[in-house]
């Protein structure tokens, strides 16, 4: 088996308690699932204090050192499929796309057969066949399936690296529009850490152990009777960050059935990537995309 990397993690801040090895690992690597680490244990790829862990329920405690070997990912070819999306702007290095709600950015384990933006890129642009990454060519960030709005996509390997670094170094300003329940303060900051939910692995949580820092700023643009339209700026880009943060302060996003409740006003979370601003190769770029019809319709009904 080809190993991509081996990572060592020291057991700290357990408050004197023992913890299952799979729970410990998903708290440190929230991008993976519990079943994934249980599989690694079964394959003999997890060690505690230099001894191979043989049971998924093995308990670690303060002072232990855990070594995890991650197998190299099996690359798959993404087929070209016709997918509708609007291109706001493009040059030889990147494009800015208005992603419609309902479109997945790249293939996922939960929806392996669904058409994705990557499928559409492969169909529309032949140069995407030149990317070494056959699963996520050109992708430098993403939006949730049911979040609409602006998405930046690289058109070559060099620009993909450069744009990825801009996001990593938090040099891309992202502004969203959201409709939230109730009336939050006129403006504010939310800085709860975010990590994988302890029992529902498809969800994120602001109370997760060993969460990662997440920072969100917001400003109310308009109050309605029972809802508010807010402008949201995120400094970090954690999974489901805006949805989790507003749920955490008691103002869930309209239509968000994962962290809130379904709504008759809109069939998805009322969240739209509204503006994006960044500097690339010494030139400044700024784009704005009005929310789609279903978002506007929900506002008209409030």
- Domains along the sequence of the chain with CATH: 3-71 (3.10.290.10), 86-168 (3.30.2350.10), 173-277 (3.30.2350.10)
pLDDT of residue 79: 82
Instruction: Residue 261: count other Cβ atoms within 10 Å of its Cβ.
Output: 11
Beta bridge partners of 3: 71
Q: Minimum mean pLDDT among 55-59, 178-182, 198-202, 220-224: which range?
A: 198-202
pLDDT of residue 89: 97
pLDDT surpassing 80 at residue 63: yes
Q: Give CA separation, 152 vs 95, 253, 272, 274, in Å.
A: 6, 24, 14, 13
pLDDT of residue 12: 84
- Between residues 101 and 109, the one the model is more confident about: 101
pLDDT of residue 80: 84
pLDDT (tens digit per residue) in 164-217: 999 989 999 999 999 999 999 999 999 998 877 666 656 777 775 557 889 999
pLDDT (tens digit per residue) in 265-293: 999 999 999 999 999 999 999 999 999 99
Nearest CA among 238, 239, 289 for reference residue 101 = 289
pLDDT of residue 130: 81
pLDDT of residue 197: 65
Q: Where are the alpha helices (DSSP H) in the chain?
A: 21-28, 34-42, 117-124, 157-168, 241-248, 293-301
| CA–CA distance, 92 with 154 (Å, rounded to integer) | 9
Q: What is the DSSP letter of 226?
A: S
| CA–CA distance, 280 with 283 (Å, rounded to integer) | 5
| CA–CA distance, 166 with 187 (Å, rounded to integer) | 27
pLDDT of residue 199: 60
Written as six digits, the tokens of 128 are 């995407």
Angle, helix 21-28 to helix 34-42, in steps of 10 degrees: 120
| CA–CA distance, 231 with 247 (Å, rounded to integer) | 16
- The number of C-alpha atoms within 13 Å of 268 and in the hemisphere containing its C-beta is 17
Nearest CA among 110, 113, 108, 156 for reference residue 135 = 108
- Helix, strand or coil for residue 229? strand
Beta bridge partners of 130: none
Q: Average the pLDDT over 119-136 and give the result.
A: 84
| CA–CA distance, 96 with 184 (Å, rounded to integer) | 32
Nearest CA among 213, 214, 233 for reference residue 273 = 233
User: What is the share, in percent, of the chain residues with pLDDT greater than 70?
Assistant: 93
Nearest CA among 288, 153, 172 for reference residue 231 = 288
Instruction: Residue 290: count other Cβ atoms within 10 Å of its Cβ.
Output: 12
Q: Minimum mean pLDDT among 7-11, 76-80, 168-172, 282-286: which range?
A: 76-80
pLDDT (tens digit per residue) in 12-42: 877 778 889 988 888 888 767 778 899 999 9
pLDDT of residue 3: 85
133 belongs to the catalytic site: no
pLDDT of residue 129: 81
Q: Which of 22, 77, 93, 144 is catalytic?
A: 144
With tokens 């994988």, the residue in question is 196
- Between residues 131 and 202, the one the model is more confident about: 131
pLDDT of residue 33: 76
Tell me what the pLDDT averaged over the chain comes to.
89
- Between residues 16 and 95, the one the model is more confident about: 95
């Amino acid at each position: 088996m080809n190993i991509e990397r081996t990572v060592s993690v020291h057991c700290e801040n357990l408050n004197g308690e023992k913890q299952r090895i799979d729970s410990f690992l998903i708290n440190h690597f929230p991008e993976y699932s519990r079943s994934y680490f249980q599989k690694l244990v079964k394959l003999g790829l997890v060690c505690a204090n230099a001894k191979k862990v043989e049971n998924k329920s093995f308990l670690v405690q303060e002072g232990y050192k855990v070594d995890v070997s991650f197998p190299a990912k099996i690359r798959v070819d993404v087929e070209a499929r016709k997918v509708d999306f609007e291109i706001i702007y493009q040059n030889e290095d990147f494009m800015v796309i208005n992603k419609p709600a309902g479109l997945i950015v790249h293939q996922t384990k939960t929806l392996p057969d669904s058409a994705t933006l990557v499928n559409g890129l492969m169909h529309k642009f032949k140069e995407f066949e030149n990317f070494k990454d056959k699963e996520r060519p050109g992708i430098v960030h993403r939006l949730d399936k049911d979040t609409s709005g602006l998405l930046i996509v690289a058109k070559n390997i060099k620009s993909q690296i450069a744009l990825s670094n801009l996001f990593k170094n938090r040099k891309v300003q992202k502004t969203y529009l959201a409709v939230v329940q109730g009336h939050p303060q006129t403006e504010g900051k939310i800085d709860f850490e975010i990590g994988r939910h302890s029992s529902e692995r498809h969800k994120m949580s602001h109370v997760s152990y060993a969460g990662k820092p997440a920072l969100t700023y917001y400003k109310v643009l308009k109050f309605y009777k029972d809802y508010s339209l807010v402008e949201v700026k995120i400094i970090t880009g954690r999974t489901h960050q805006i949805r989790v943060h507003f749920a955490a302060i008691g103002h869930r996003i309209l239509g968000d059935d994962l962290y809130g409740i379904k709504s008759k006003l809109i069939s998805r979370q009322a969240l739209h990537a509204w503006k994006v601003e960044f500097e690339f190769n010494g030139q400044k770029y700024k784009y704005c995309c009005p929310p789609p019809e279903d978002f506007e319709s929900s506002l008209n009904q409030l």
